[in-house]
Structure 1
Amino acid sequence: MSSESTVFRRILGIWDGHDAGAALVEDGRVVAAVSEERFTRIKRQGGFPVHSVAEVLRLGGCGVSDIEGIAVAGQQGRLPARVFDMSYQRMDPGQVDPLSSASRAYAGYQNHIAGLPVIRRLEDWGSQFMLSRRLAHLGFQNAHLQLIDHHIAHAATAIAALETSARPALVVTMDGYGDGRSVTVWRYDTEGAHLLYAAGANASFALLYGALTRQLGFREGEEGKLTGLSARATGQRNLNLRPFLSQEKGALQLDRTRAFATLKRAHDDGVAEADLAHALQSSLEEAVVAFIKVYLRRTGLRNLAVSGGLFANVALNGRLAALDLASFAVAPAMTDQGLCVGAALQMAGQTHASPMPHIRLGSPIDGNEVDPAQIAQLLANGDVIGVARGAMEFGPRALGCRSILFDPRNPALAKRLGERLKRESFMPFGPILCDQDYNSMFDIPRARIDRSSREMTLAIPVSSEMQELAPSAIHVDGTARPQVVDENEDPWLHEVLTHFRGLTRCPMLVNTSFNRHREPIVRSGREALDSALAIGLDAVVIGGELQRFEQPPIGHQAQGAQL
């Protein structure tokens, strides 16, 4: 996993598959990153991210002539999509059933045929040609273009999530597949990353998870609903998937066809969907944790960082966080959204890249801050408030800049908002709390998960005190996805939480992303206002302005159930 010896000062990172986006890295530091879906308003938008490219250049205060290097994620099997960009969403394997004949054919091409030396050379030449034409149309003329391997880009995002003190580290990537691989394991140290293990699409646990997600009626990209559902297993039927999902001496073993056939047959026989989800989730956790423990033992490393779509699974991440580790980090944009960042960081070189301190890397909404005491009082009174302020977050989570906030003490409030958001009843909300309150609310030491505890990337056990204080922020299995707010990172949000605690003795709020059902998170103030009205929020903060609505339809109707 080496990068070219030339060091480029300004690098544009691009990913042109599903969840397309662009990033700008300057002197090894990520200064801007956005996803194309935020501009087109089409969730998981694929294709060349023309809007994102323009936006990161604007945010970085530079023009096309200032870019010295362009790193594009994806080497093997990408040419068909790049040639037929206009029909990309119909042909991309991420948009169809991963076990369908079309998906199998495309997977076969990407993972086998495209890896043949002659085809690979054709792929490389064709991708370089198509991308160069597209970039030239945007005005890029002299920048050096480099294609970056899919899993190397994922690994780079995991490395960027590590604190400097958390190195050397074991780095693991797992996803559906990309560039012929679905799994990689690396040792990362001061000399770079060294590959320890890799496996192709035949070992993709993520494809199996996606197949069951669709079998149960959810859409591609909604695998998190399967995770939420799994905690509600009835226990009436125990399915044994262990013969199909396992690891043997550090090699993953997966019979995806037989495993899915077992699940489908059980579904057809009327087995509860929660039991099916639990069977797969528990088997997945057991196999992946055992697999990673093998490499932790072999290397003697106690720092772990992960990336790739499989690690969007917060329950799995919670299991990993419980291991005896010095530190554990999940790449904040662990799905393919993060590939644009990873590609640029890889081109910058691991020895030149800096840890990514935060994910507020997108389009800003400026303005003086609204009085935090006023916001806390409204929340304590039962208002549900949308917040769109400062720079937009990059990745799948909203962390207080494009969020909806409400009181976690009131289950009726959570239920009503969930209905307005068309959110399944089994999907939990997540808590946001100040750093000084973490230790009394959660059981895993914060020092181990410092970075990930700030980004809602893992579900961990809560204390009995939290169960009493904040029932709306806890899942039925007694876990929650925390976002811990440090005062120096977001003073305004920290102050809102501090005032709310003073008013209610509850040290947290519920934070959920600011978007309508199956829409991307809001980007602009106009989108925030439109979504607030459509959802029926009680109030919205846009930049430095607070707007309350005359007939608050959520908090007002739930007031009678206030705890």
Structure 2
Amino acid sequence: MRDGRIVAAAQEERFSRIKHDAGFPESAIRYCLDAAKLSPGDLDHVVFYEKPIRKFDRLMESFLATAPRSLRPFTTAMPSWIKGKLNLRKTLRRRLDQVAGDGRRYVGKMHFVDHHLAHAASAAWTCPWPNAAVLVCDAVGEWATTSLGWSDGQQIQLTHQLRYPHSLGLLYSAFTYFCGFTVNSGEYKLMGLAAYGTPKYAQAIESELLNVASDGSFRLNQEFFGFVESLKMTNQRFADVFDQTPRRADEPITDFHRDLAASIQKVTEDILLRTANHLHRLHAADALCIAGGVALNGKANGRLLVETPFQHLHVPPAPGDAGGAVGAALLIDRAVLDDAAVEGQAVSQYSMQNACLGPVYDSQQSSQELRQIGANFRSLTDEALIDEVARRLADGQVVGWMDGPMEFGPRAVGRRSILADPRGDDVRDRMNQAIKFREPFRPFAPVVLAERVTKYFQVSGDFESPWMSFIVPVKAAAEIAPAIIHADGTARVQTLTRDQNPKLYHLIQQFDRMTGCPMLVNTSFNVKDEPIVASPVDAYRCFQKSGMDCCVIQNHLLDKRESC
């Protein structure tokens, strides 16, 4: 951040090409410094998005409370804490010095902020409505798992909290594990699978596994879970409730797994609705800001939008831990601005209208990289490119689309996307099987011209979803685009205005003129188990090994038949 403006943000996985890379984010730091034309020695503050000592206290207290059963997770976790996490201040300074390259070391302050407060700032201080209620919900921060509070645009107060081990995020992850998906990355698969089942186990979950109050607070019955005392999310008692064993990743998905997914999805939505309604009673406001990993549950967000007293719901583009880094920076920057305000400088909301904060490769850089790897391509003007790509899409081709700065957050919203015609009945199956190489039950999202969204989706006239934050019901008119309709008659909508992405907007306009359909299928430019592409080389390699027909990289068009 510089002078109250977010200059750059990116995740390490995009550079390392390791999905959910948990290593030190050296490449991401290097990119952010290069984008700002700075070295570490130029920085005034460096901030980390949680307090390691408090987190260590929680781990130690949990281990001691469940000893000797917790011996195995204790011996697994302690080496990494002793080697680095307890000395994170020294580690950060040392690694920053290594990034520098020019010998200018960082000598400023090193800050550590509360994890849920960082999440809260990422939502409340990027919200278009400065007076808002705040809800943070994730697996766990230091101790907090759900936090409620408010922001008036100048300060944030978290007034109520649930604490570990009573966690909605961990509850959802337990079912992610039991259904055979990977914890901390497969939760979106569980949400997609839920549309194919019925919530027949919801009552059993609420009566056996947890106790939920009318205000949304709850307690997990720890007899059924293993995450406190072992390396597994669930135990045999959990399996006995459903008379099933955990599914292995290579085993088939059955009606039981579909129904179990639908059940935990319903329980999660119902708890969040109770929590949000209670929050409105505590801190009445027109707007609700929500962050934390649970805020990536678009189905729950869609219900919060229409079934609570709040008129507006704001979800930042990266509500998970990546966005927590932004929130941490906002907290320190706001503190600096508050000091400056004494001298007459205004303090205002931070803008996240454009979440495209990652690397950008202009036409010349892209062509150089493509030539170096021997790719064949044609360079076109914007007008010619849009006309040809729209025609190819209308003819049923699937198009890789890399244009402008990379998006920040888990969603590709038109800068690193794969686009397709949503009108075909077979488009979803083809893209899952031959393009993305992923599970057949996974849905695809539409990107629709913002001024046309109410014709096709059951939303209000002021509905905005620039980062695909909401899953909403479709209207009958959306039958024109069967590829974007999920099994339960919903879609995870992205609205697009001309200002947000003029090139993609014009492409959809041209496609609409040709077909009468003002939307496209938009999915992230990657294949299963890989991060979204960052560079032209990444895009080319992904294009070559997938079933995409052609690929756009800035103003360069690559055809599968010609690019080998």
TM over 0.5: yes
Report if the CA contact (8 A) 1:515-1:522 is conserved.
Answer: yes
Correspondence for 1:134 among 95, 98, 105: 95
Structure 2: distance between partners of 1:226 and 1:463: 25
What is the letter of the counterpart of residue 318 of structure 2? A
- TM-superposed CA distance for 1:317, in Å, is 1.0
- TM-superposed CA distance for 1:78, in Å, is 8.0
Other-structure match for 1:395 = 409
- 1:353/1:143 Cα in 2 relative to 1: closer, same or farther (>3 Å)? farther
Structure 1: distance between partners of 2:202 and 2:408: 39
- TM-superposed CA distance for 1:255, in Å, is 2.5
The reply on whether 1:417 has 2:431 as its aligned counterpart is yes
Other-structure match for 2:368 = none
Structure 2: distance between partners of 1:250 and 1:432: 33
The reply on whether 1:383 has 2:394 as its aligned counterpart is no
Report if the CA contact (8 A) 1:245-1:287 is conserved.
Answer: no
- TM-superposed CA distance for 1:231, in Å, is 1.1
What is the letter of the counterpart of residue 35 of structure 2? L
Other-structure match for 2:193 = 229
- TM-superposed CA distance for 1:372, in Å, is 1.3
- TM-score under structure 1 length normalisation: 0.82
Other-structure match for 1:501 = 512
Other-structure match for 1:197 = 160
Q: 1:427-457 CA deviation, whole Å, 9 max, x = no partner?
A: 110000111111111212152x42xx11111
Other-structure match for 2:386 = 372
What is the letter of the counterpart of residue 51 of structure 1? S
What is the letter of the counterpart of residue 143 of structure 1? G
Report if the CA contact (8 A) 2:269-2:303 is conserved.
Answer: yes
Other-structure match for 1:438 = 453
Tell me how large the CA RMSD over aligned residues is.
2.8
- 1:127/1:37 Cα in 2 relative to 1: closer, same or farther (>3 Å)? same
- Percent identity reads 31
Structure 2: distance between partners of 1:359 and 1:235: 35
Report if the CA contact (8 A) 2:318-2:408 is conserved.
Answer: yes
Structure 1: distance between partners of 2:34 and 2:320: 25
Structure 2: distance between partners of 1:412 and 1:271: 23
- TM-superposed CA distance for 1:458, in Å, is 1.4
Structure 1: distance between partners of 2:289 and 2:71: 33
Structure 2: distance between partners of 1:125 and 1:235: 43
The reply on whether 1:533 has 2:496 as its aligned counterpart is no
The reply on whether 1:462 has 2:474 as its aligned counterpart is yes
Alignment of 1:85-234 (within 5 A): 105=74, 126-139=87-100, 140-163=105-128, 166-220=129-183, 221-234=185-198
Q: 1:270-329 CA deviation, whole Å, 9 max, x = no partner?
A: 871011111111111111110111110222212101010111111111111113322101
Correspondence for 2:317 among 299, 311, 332: 332
- 1:283/1:374 Cα in 2 relative to 1: closer, same or farther (>3 Å)? same
Equivalences, count: 495
What is the letter of the counterpart of residue 392 of structure 1? M
- 1:480/1:290 Cα in 2 relative to 1: closer, same or farther (>3 Å)? same
Structure 2: distance between partners of 1:544 and 1:74: 41
Q: 3-state DSSP class of the match of 1:523?
A: coil
Report if the CA contact (8 A) 2:289-2:315 is conserved.
Answer: yes
Unaligned runs of 5+ in 2: 57-61, 63-68, 226-233, 246-253, 336-346, 364-380
Structure 1 residue ranges (4+ consecutive) displaced by more than 4 angstroms after TM superposition: 77-80, 100-109, 122-125, 234-239, 259-263, 350-353
- TM-superposed CA distance for 1:160, in Å, is 3.5
Q: 3-state DSSP class of the match of 1:161?
A: coil
What is the letter of the counterpart of residue 410 of structure 1? G
The reply on whether 1:359 has 2:355 as its aligned counterpart is yes
Other-structure match for 1:36 = 12
Report if the CA contact (8 A) 1:160-1:356 is conserved.
Answer: no
What is the letter of the counterpart of residue 192 of structure 2? G
- 1:73/1:378 Cα in 2 relative to 1: closer, same or farther (>3 Å)? same
- TM-score under structure 2 length normalisation: 0.82
Correspondence for 1:255 among 211, 218, 221: 221
Structure 2: distance between partners of 1:68 and 1:199: 34
Report if the CA contact (8 A) 2:150-2:156 is conserved.
Answer: yes
Q: 3-state DSSP class of the match of 1:183?
A: strand
- 1:124/1:272 Cα in 2 relative to 1: closer, same or farther (>3 Å)? closer
Report if the CA contact (8 A) 1:431-1:473 is conserved.
Answer: yes
Structure 1: distance between partners of 2:448 and 2:514: 15
Structure 2: distance between partners of 1:209 and 1:267: 19
Report if the CA contact (8 A) 2:412-2:524 is conserved.
Answer: yes
- TM-superposed CA distance for 1:241, in Å, is 1.6
Structure 2: distance between partners of 1:178 and 1:541: 40
Report if the CA contact (8 A) 1:76-1:123 is conserved.
Answer: no
Q: 1:78-105 CA deviation, whole Å, 9 max, x = no partner?
A: 898xxxxxxxxxxxx9xxxxxx958965
Structure 2: distance between partners of 1:103 and 1:308: 29
Q: 1:373-393 CA deviation, whole Å, 9 max, x = no partner?
A: 221111001110001111000
Structure 1: distance between partners of 2:117 and 2:72: 23
Structure 2: distance between partners of 1:102 and 1:444: 51
- 1:250/1:465 Cα in 2 relative to 1: closer, same or farther (>3 Å)? closer
Q: 1:129-179 CA deviation, whole Å, 9 max, x = no partner?
A: 33223223334332221112111111111124310xx12101111111111
Other-structure match for 2:374 = none
Other-structure match for 2:339 = none
Moved more, 378-387 or 415-424: 415-424
- 1:470/1:207 Cα in 2 relative to 1: closer, same or farther (>3 Å)? same
Report if the CA contact (8 A) 1:173-1:307 is conserved.
Answer: yes
- 1:238/1:194 Cα in 2 relative to 1: closer, same or farther (>3 Å)? closer
Unaligned runs of 5+ in 1: 1-24, 81-92, 94-99, 554-563
Q: 1:49-91 CA deviation, whole Å, 9 max, x = no partner?
A: 11111101111222223211111112134898xxxxxxxxxxx
Structure 1: distance between partners of 2:71 and 2:534: 34
- TM-superposed CA distance for 1:28, in Å, is 1.6
- TM-superposed CA distance for 1:250, in Å, is 5.6
What is the letter of the counterpart of residue 47 of structure 1? G
Greater strand share, 1 or 2? 1
Correspondence for 2:486 among 475, 496, 501: 475
Q: 3-state DSSP class of the match of 1:233?
A: coil
- 1:341/1:189 Cα in 2 relative to 1: closer, same or farther (>3 Å)? same
Structure 1: distance between partners of 2:27 and 2:295: 27
Structure 2: distance between partners of 1:338 and 1:134: 21
- 1:473/1:145 Cα in 2 relative to 1: closer, same or farther (>3 Å)? same
What is the letter of the counterpart of residue 412 of structure 2? A
What is the letter of the counterpart of residue 517 of structure 2? C
Structure 1: distance between partners of 2:328 and 2:295: 19
What is the letter of the counterpart of residue 146 of structure 1? H
- 1:521/1:347 Cα in 2 relative to 1: closer, same or farther (>3 Å)? same
